[in-house]
Structure 1
Amino acid sequence: MAPPTDPRLDRDTTNCSIARTLELVGEKWTLLVLREIWYGLSRFSDLHQMLGCPRNLLAERLRKLVDHGILATETYQPEGSRSRSRYVITDKGNDLIPAVLGLLQWGDKYRAAPEGPAIVNRHHGCGAALSVQVRCEHDHHVPPAEIDITPGPGFRARGASDPPHGGAGH
Protein backbone atom coordinates (compact mmCIF):
# COMPACT_ATOMS: atom_id res chain seq x y z
CA MET A 1 0.00 0.00 0.00
CA ALA A 2 1.39 3.41 -0.98
CA PRO A 3 1.81 6.03 1.76
CA PRO A 4 -0.79 8.82 1.71
CA THR A 5 0.12 11.79 -0.47
CA ASP A 6 0.50 15.16 1.22
CA PRO A 7 -2.48 17.23 -0.05
CA ARG A 8 -0.24 20.33 -0.16
CA LEU A 9 1.52 18.75 -3.13
CA ASP A 10 -1.67 18.98 -5.20
CA ARG A 11 -1.76 22.78 -5.45
CA ASP A 12 -0.95 24.67 -8.62
CA THR A 13 1.69 27.28 -7.78
CA THR A 14 1.63 29.14 -11.09
CA ASN A 15 -0.44 31.94 -9.54
CA CYS A 16 1.65 32.25 -6.36
CA SER A 17 1.76 35.84 -5.10
CA ILE A 18 5.28 35.39 -3.74
CA ALA A 19 6.61 34.21 -7.11
CA ARG A 20 4.78 37.02 -8.94
CA THR A 21 6.17 39.64 -6.55
CA LEU A 22 9.70 38.30 -6.87
CA GLU A 23 9.43 38.56 -10.67
CA LEU A 24 8.99 42.29 -10.15
CA VAL A 25 11.13 43.21 -7.13
CA GLY A 26 13.11 40.10 -6.25
CA GLU A 27 16.41 41.22 -7.72
CA LYS A 28 19.19 42.80 -5.64
CA TRP A 29 19.48 46.10 -7.54
CA THR A 30 15.71 46.64 -7.54
CA LEU A 31 15.52 46.34 -3.76
CA LEU A 32 18.55 48.58 -3.32
CA VAL A 33 16.99 51.22 -5.60
CA LEU A 34 13.86 51.13 -3.42
CA ARG A 35 16.01 51.39 -0.28
CA GLU A 36 17.74 54.52 -1.55
CA ILE A 37 14.49 56.15 -2.66
CA TRP A 38 12.97 55.46 0.77
CA TYR A 39 16.10 56.95 2.33
CA GLY A 40 15.55 60.14 0.33
CA LEU A 41 17.44 59.96 -2.97
CA SER A 42 15.41 60.80 -6.05
CA ARG A 43 17.69 61.67 -8.95
CA PHE A 44 19.21 59.15 -11.35
CA SER A 45 22.72 60.55 -10.89
CA ASP A 46 22.49 60.31 -7.10
CA LEU A 47 21.15 56.76 -7.27
CA HIS A 48 23.94 55.80 -9.66
CA GLN A 49 26.59 57.35 -7.42
CA MET A 50 25.25 55.70 -4.26
CA LEU A 51 24.64 52.23 -5.71
CA GLY A 52 27.53 51.99 -8.15
CA CYS A 53 25.59 49.71 -10.47
CA PRO A 54 25.89 50.00 -14.26
CA ARG A 55 23.87 52.92 -15.66
CA ASN A 56 21.96 50.74 -18.13
CA LEU A 57 20.97 48.34 -15.34
CA LEU A 58 19.84 51.19 -13.09
CA ALA A 59 17.81 52.73 -15.93
CA GLU A 60 16.14 49.38 -16.65
CA ARG A 61 15.26 48.79 -12.97
CA LEU A 62 13.85 52.31 -12.59
CA ARG A 63 11.82 51.94 -15.80
CA LYS A 64 10.37 48.64 -14.56
CA LEU A 65 9.42 50.17 -11.19
CA VAL A 66 7.75 53.12 -12.92
CA ASP A 67 5.97 50.86 -15.44
CA HIS A 68 4.49 48.86 -12.55
CA GLY A 69 3.42 51.92 -10.55
CA ILE A 70 5.86 51.40 -7.66
CA LEU A 71 7.71 54.61 -8.53
CA ALA A 72 6.59 57.66 -10.46
CA THR A 73 8.57 60.43 -12.08
CA GLU A 74 8.07 64.09 -11.26
CA THR A 75 9.45 67.09 -13.05
CA TYR A 76 11.09 69.74 -10.94
CA GLN A 77 13.16 72.81 -11.79
CA PRO A 78 15.92 74.10 -9.56
CA GLU A 79 16.07 77.87 -9.64
CA GLY A 80 18.13 79.04 -12.59
CA SER A 81 18.40 75.55 -14.13
CA ARG A 82 16.57 73.48 -16.70
CA SER A 83 13.76 71.16 -15.61
CA ARG A 84 14.76 67.71 -14.44
CA SER A 85 13.07 64.46 -13.47
CA ARG A 86 13.16 62.74 -10.13
CA TYR A 87 11.75 59.48 -8.87
CA VAL A 88 9.17 59.38 -6.10
CA ILE A 89 7.64 56.47 -4.26
CA THR A 90 3.95 55.78 -4.85
CA ASP A 91 1.41 54.32 -2.42
CA LYS A 92 1.98 50.97 -4.14
CA GLY A 93 5.70 51.34 -3.47
CA ASN A 94 5.13 52.29 0.16
CA ASP A 95 3.14 49.07 0.58
CA LEU A 96 6.44 47.21 0.02
CA ILE A 97 8.07 48.82 3.07
CA PRO A 98 7.07 46.07 5.54
CA ALA A 99 8.56 43.39 3.25
CA VAL A 100 11.83 45.28 2.81
CA LEU A 101 12.02 46.16 6.50
CA GLY A 102 11.45 42.47 7.25
CA LEU A 103 14.50 41.63 5.12
CA LEU A 104 16.45 44.37 6.90
CA GLN A 105 15.40 43.07 10.31
CA TRP A 106 16.51 39.54 9.39
CA GLY A 107 19.77 40.89 7.97
CA ASP A 108 20.44 42.96 11.09
CA LYS A 109 20.03 39.82 13.19
CA TYR A 110 21.98 37.36 11.04
CA ARG A 111 24.14 39.32 8.56
CA ALA A 112 25.11 42.64 10.16
CA ALA A 113 28.72 43.73 10.57
CA PRO A 114 30.32 42.73 13.90
CA GLU A 115 29.83 46.27 15.23
CA GLY A 116 26.10 46.15 14.41
CA PRO A 117 23.65 47.34 11.76
CA ALA A 118 24.55 50.22 9.44
CA ILE A 119 21.15 51.89 9.72
CA VAL A 120 18.49 51.85 12.42
CA ASN A 121 14.96 52.79 11.38
CA ARG A 122 13.05 54.61 14.11
CA HIS A 123 9.51 55.82 14.63
CA HIS A 124 9.50 59.56 13.99
CA GLY A 125 6.84 60.08 16.67
CA CYS A 126 8.61 58.49 19.65
CA GLY A 127 12.11 57.53 18.51
CA ALA A 128 11.72 53.79 19.16
CA ALA A 129 13.39 51.33 16.78
CA LEU A 130 11.05 49.62 14.33
CA SER A 131 10.15 45.95 14.44
CA VAL A 132 8.31 44.05 11.71
CA GLN A 133 5.83 41.52 13.07
CA VAL A 134 3.13 39.26 11.72
CA ARG A 135 -0.21 40.34 13.16
CA CYS A 136 -3.73 39.14 12.43
CA GLU A 137 -6.57 41.50 11.58
CA HIS A 138 -7.53 41.49 15.30
CA ASP A 139 -4.03 42.86 16.10
CA HIS A 140 -2.68 39.70 17.76
CA HIS A 141 1.03 38.95 17.33
CA VAL A 142 1.18 35.61 15.45
CA PRO A 143 4.32 33.46 15.80
CA PRO A 144 5.18 31.15 12.88
CA ALA A 145 3.91 28.03 14.68
CA GLU A 146 0.43 29.59 14.88
CA ILE A 147 0.05 30.39 11.18
CA ASP A 148 -2.52 28.24 9.37
CA ILE A 149 -2.18 27.97 5.59
CA THR A 150 -5.60 27.65 3.96
CA PRO A 151 -6.78 27.82 0.35
CA GLY A 152 -7.70 31.33 -0.79
CA PRO A 153 -10.03 32.51 -3.53
CA GLY A 154 -7.32 32.06 -6.18
CA PHE A 155 -6.45 28.50 -5.12
CA ARG A 156 -6.09 26.05 -7.99
CA ALA A 157 -5.56 22.32 -7.72
CA ARG A 158 -2.91 20.90 -9.99
CA GLY A 159 -4.12 18.39 -12.54
CA ALA A 160 -2.90 14.83 -12.10
CA SER A 161 -0.74 15.13 -15.23
CA ASP A 162 0.84 18.47 -14.31
CA PRO A 163 4.49 18.29 -13.24
CA PRO A 164 5.64 19.88 -9.97
CA HIS A 165 6.56 23.57 -10.23
CA GLY A 166 9.76 23.50 -8.22
CA GLY A 167 10.28 26.13 -5.55
CA ALA A 168 8.12 28.85 -7.12
CA GLY A 169 5.14 28.35 -4.85
CA HIS A 170 4.52 29.27 -1.24
Structure 2
Amino acid sequence: MPDAAQDEPSCSIERSLQVLGERWTLLIIRDVHAGRHRFADLQTSLGIAPNLLSTRLKTLVSAGILRKLAYQTPGSRHRESYHLTPSGEELELVLAALQQWGDRHRPRATGPAALRRRRSTGRPVHVGFIADDDAREVPASDVDLRGVPAEAGGTAPHG
Protein backbone atom coordinates (compact mmCIF):
# COMPACT_ATOMS: atom_id res chain seq x y z
CA MET A 1 0.00 0.00 0.00
CA PRO A 2 1.52 3.38 -0.98
CA ASP A 3 2.43 5.85 1.74
CA ALA A 4 0.14 8.92 1.58
CA ALA A 5 3.04 11.16 2.62
CA GLN A 6 5.00 9.99 -0.43
CA ASP A 7 2.11 11.00 -2.71
CA GLU A 8 2.01 14.48 -1.20
CA PRO A 9 3.85 17.11 -3.25
CA SER A 10 7.20 18.11 -1.80
CA CYS A 11 6.70 21.71 -2.96
CA SER A 12 4.94 23.77 -0.29
CA ILE A 13 3.57 26.13 -2.95
CA GLU A 14 1.94 23.19 -4.73
CA ARG A 15 0.48 21.89 -1.44
CA SER A 16 -0.86 25.36 -0.65
CA LEU A 17 -2.46 25.68 -4.08
CA GLN A 18 -4.28 22.39 -3.54
CA VAL A 19 -6.40 24.35 -1.05
CA LEU A 20 -6.04 27.95 -2.20
CA GLY A 21 -5.68 27.62 -5.96
CA GLU A 22 -9.32 27.39 -6.98
CA ARG A 23 -11.14 30.42 -8.32
CA TRP A 24 -12.93 32.43 -5.60
CA THR A 25 -10.99 30.94 -2.68
CA LEU A 26 -8.71 33.90 -1.94
CA LEU A 27 -11.57 36.33 -2.55
CA ILE A 28 -13.64 34.50 0.07
CA ILE A 29 -10.73 34.75 2.51
CA ARG A 30 -10.35 38.46 1.65
CA ASP A 31 -14.03 39.09 2.35
CA VAL A 32 -14.05 37.14 5.62
CA HIS A 33 -10.99 39.12 6.71
CA ALA A 34 -12.90 42.30 5.83
CA GLY A 35 -15.75 41.30 8.16
CA ARG A 36 -18.19 39.48 5.91
CA HIS A 37 -18.95 36.34 7.88
CA ARG A 38 -22.40 35.25 6.75
CA PHE A 39 -23.09 33.14 3.69
CA ALA A 40 -25.54 35.65 2.20
CA ASP A 41 -23.12 38.54 2.70
CA LEU A 42 -20.32 36.61 1.00
CA GLN A 43 -22.57 35.61 -1.87
CA THR A 44 -23.79 39.17 -2.41
CA SER A 45 -20.31 40.67 -2.19
CA LEU A 46 -18.70 38.18 -4.55
CA GLY A 47 -21.57 37.44 -6.94
CA ILE A 48 -20.75 33.74 -6.66
CA ALA A 49 -23.25 30.90 -7.21
CA PRO A 50 -24.52 29.47 -3.90
CA ASN A 51 -23.43 25.90 -4.67
CA LEU A 52 -19.92 27.04 -5.55
CA LEU A 53 -19.66 29.21 -2.43
CA SER A 54 -20.84 26.30 -0.30
CA THR A 55 -18.21 24.00 -1.81
CA ARG A 56 -15.41 26.54 -1.32
CA LEU A 57 -16.44 27.22 2.29
CA LYS A 58 -16.48 23.48 3.08
CA THR A 59 -12.98 23.14 1.62
CA LEU A 60 -11.69 26.08 3.66
CA VAL A 61 -13.25 24.74 6.86
CA SER A 62 -11.87 21.22 6.32
CA ALA A 63 -8.41 22.72 5.59
CA GLY A 64 -8.49 24.60 8.91
CA ILE A 65 -8.48 28.05 7.30
CA LEU A 66 -12.03 28.96 8.34
CA ARG A 67 -14.12 27.87 11.29
CA LYS A 68 -17.90 27.92 11.59
CA LEU A 69 -19.82 29.58 14.41
CA ALA A 70 -23.55 29.10 14.91
CA TYR A 71 -25.83 32.12 15.15
CA GLN A 72 -29.55 32.81 15.04
CA THR A 73 -31.42 36.00 14.33
CA PRO A 74 -34.82 36.37 16.01
CA GLY A 75 -37.53 34.54 14.12
CA SER A 76 -35.22 32.56 11.87
CA ARG A 77 -33.46 29.21 11.92
CA HIS A 78 -29.94 28.54 13.16
CA ARG A 79 -27.28 29.47 10.65
CA GLU A 80 -23.50 29.44 10.56
CA SER A 81 -21.02 32.25 10.11
CA TYR A 82 -17.45 31.84 8.93
CA HIS A 83 -14.36 33.16 10.68
CA LEU A 84 -10.64 32.93 10.04
CA THR A 85 -8.58 30.56 12.12
CA PRO A 86 -5.00 31.57 13.03
CA SER A 87 -3.94 29.71 9.87
CA GLY A 88 -6.40 31.76 7.83
CA GLU A 89 -5.25 35.01 9.44
CA GLU A 90 -1.71 34.28 8.25
CA LEU A 91 -3.00 34.47 4.67
CA GLU A 92 -3.32 38.24 5.09
CA LEU A 93 0.31 38.47 3.96
CA VAL A 94 -0.52 36.47 0.83
CA LEU A 95 -3.44 38.79 0.07
CA ALA A 96 -1.27 41.84 0.70
CA ALA A 97 1.44 40.50 -1.62
CA LEU A 98 -1.14 39.85 -4.36
CA GLN A 99 -2.62 43.31 -3.89
CA GLN A 100 0.84 44.89 -4.03
CA TRP A 101 1.70 42.94 -7.19
CA GLY A 102 -1.63 43.82 -8.80
CA ASP A 103 -1.26 47.52 -7.99
CA ARG A 104 2.21 47.51 -9.54
CA HIS A 105 1.70 45.23 -12.56
CA ARG A 106 -2.06 45.35 -13.24
CA PRO A 107 -2.88 48.92 -12.17
CA ARG A 108 -6.26 50.56 -12.53
CA ALA A 109 -6.34 53.82 -14.45
CA THR A 110 -7.81 55.52 -11.37
CA GLY A 111 -5.16 54.16 -9.00
CA PRO A 112 -5.33 51.59 -6.19
CA ALA A 113 -8.71 50.80 -4.65
CA ALA A 114 -7.13 50.59 -1.17
CA LEU A 115 -3.79 51.19 0.51
CA ARG A 116 -2.32 49.33 3.47
CA ARG A 117 -1.13 51.56 6.27
CA ARG A 118 0.41 51.07 9.68
CA ARG A 119 -2.31 51.50 12.32
CA SER A 120 -0.08 53.31 14.80
CA THR A 121 1.29 55.91 12.38
CA GLY A 122 -0.91 55.89 9.29
CA ARG A 123 2.20 55.51 7.13
CA PRO A 124 2.11 53.17 4.10
CA VAL A 125 3.47 49.63 4.42
CA HIS A 126 4.44 46.99 1.89
CA VAL A 127 5.20 43.29 1.82
CA GLY A 128 8.84 42.30 1.63
CA PHE A 129 11.50 39.85 2.77
CA ILE A 130 12.74 40.44 6.32
CA ALA A 131 16.03 38.97 7.55
CA ASP A 132 15.70 36.71 10.59
CA ASP A 133 18.98 37.88 12.08
CA ASP A 134 18.51 41.67 12.09
CA ALA A 135 14.84 42.25 11.12
CA ARG A 136 15.84 44.42 8.16
CA GLU A 137 14.23 44.29 4.75
CA VAL A 138 16.19 42.36 2.13
CA PRO A 139 15.76 43.12 -1.60
CA ALA A 140 14.20 40.22 -3.53
CA SER A 141 17.27 40.21 -5.76
CA ASP A 142 19.33 39.19 -2.70
CA VAL A 143 17.07 36.26 -1.74
CA ASP A 144 17.75 32.67 -2.85
CA LEU A 145 15.44 29.70 -2.52
CA ARG A 146 17.56 26.71 -1.60
CA GLY A 147 16.48 23.12 -1.32
CA VAL A 148 16.58 21.41 2.06
CA PRO A 149 18.83 18.33 2.27
CA ALA A 150 16.93 15.06 1.87
CA GLU A 151 17.92 13.93 5.37
CA ALA A 152 16.09 16.98 6.73
CA GLY A 153 12.94 16.16 4.75
CA GLY A 154 13.63 18.20 1.63
CA THR A 155 13.42 16.81 -1.88
CA ALA A 156 13.00 19.73 -4.25
CA PRO A 157 14.77 23.02 -4.88
CA HIS A 158 11.55 24.89 -5.64
CA GLY A 159 9.84 25.39 -2.33
User: TM-score, length-normalised on structure 1?
Assistant: 0.79
Offset of residue 23 of structure 1: 1.1
Residue aligning to 1:27 = 22
Whole-Å separation in 2 of the counterparts to 1:20 and 1:27: 13
Residue aligning to 2:55 = 60
Q: Count the aligned residue pairs.
A: 148
Residue aligning to 1:144 = 140
Alignment gaps of 5+ in structure 2: 1-7
Who wins on radius of gyration, i.e. which is larger? 1
Shift in alpha-carbon separation, 1:79–1:122, aligned structure 2, 3 A: farther
User: TM-score, length-normalised on structure 2?
Assistant: 0.84
- For 1:26, give the aligned amino acid: G
Shift in alpha-carbon separation, 1:130–1:79, aligned structure 2, 3 A: farther
Q: How does 1:26-105 map to 2 (within 5 A)?
A: 26-79=21-74, 81-105=76-100
Report sequence identity in percent: 38
Offset of residue 131 of structure 1: 0.8
Whole-Å separation in 2 of the counterparts to 1:49 and 1:91: 25
Higher relative contact order (CA 8 A, sep 6+): 1
CA RMSD of superposed structures (Å): 2.1
Residue aligning to 1:106 = 101
Offset of residue 68 of structure 1: 0.7
Alignment gaps of 5+ in structure 1: 1-12, 158-168
- For 2:154, give the aligned amino acid: F
Q: 1:40 aligns to what SS in structure 2?
A: coil
